[in-house]
Amino acid sequence: MSRDYHSIDAVDEAIIRSERNKARALRKTRWWQRKTASGRCYYCDRTFAHRELTMDHVIPLSRGGRSTRDNLVPCCKECNTKKKELLPVEWQEYLDELVDRAAD
């Protein structure tokens, strides 16, 4: 069976493992410490203890994202769990709901 490399499902597991290892290494850097120092979730903008923030790939690895500084953001566990493998465009609806609730 031939693989369709333009498909979302075609991301190689070895690439995903490699990118996760890169993310783990970045989590130990001063750069990540500065990113989490404010305690702000990138998505919901709520404040948490920096230890409560998780690292999220804005473009998920399974959708072709990479572990680069411009694709990694601190976020709370709730947002990370809800976002799953959504792309920013797909995730925007949830974010809009958060803004609407905050305005009420």
- pLDDT for 10 equals 54
Region 20-48: mean pLDDT is 95
Cα(48)–Cα(12) distance, rounded to whole angstroms? Answer: 34
Residues 52, 20 contacting (CB under 8 angstroms): no
pTM metric for this prediction: 0.79
How much is the mean pLDDT over the chain?
A: 87
Query: What is the set of domains in the chain, with CATH numbers?
Result: 8-103 (1.10.30.50)
Cα(91)–Cα(80) distance, rounded to whole angstroms? Answer: 11
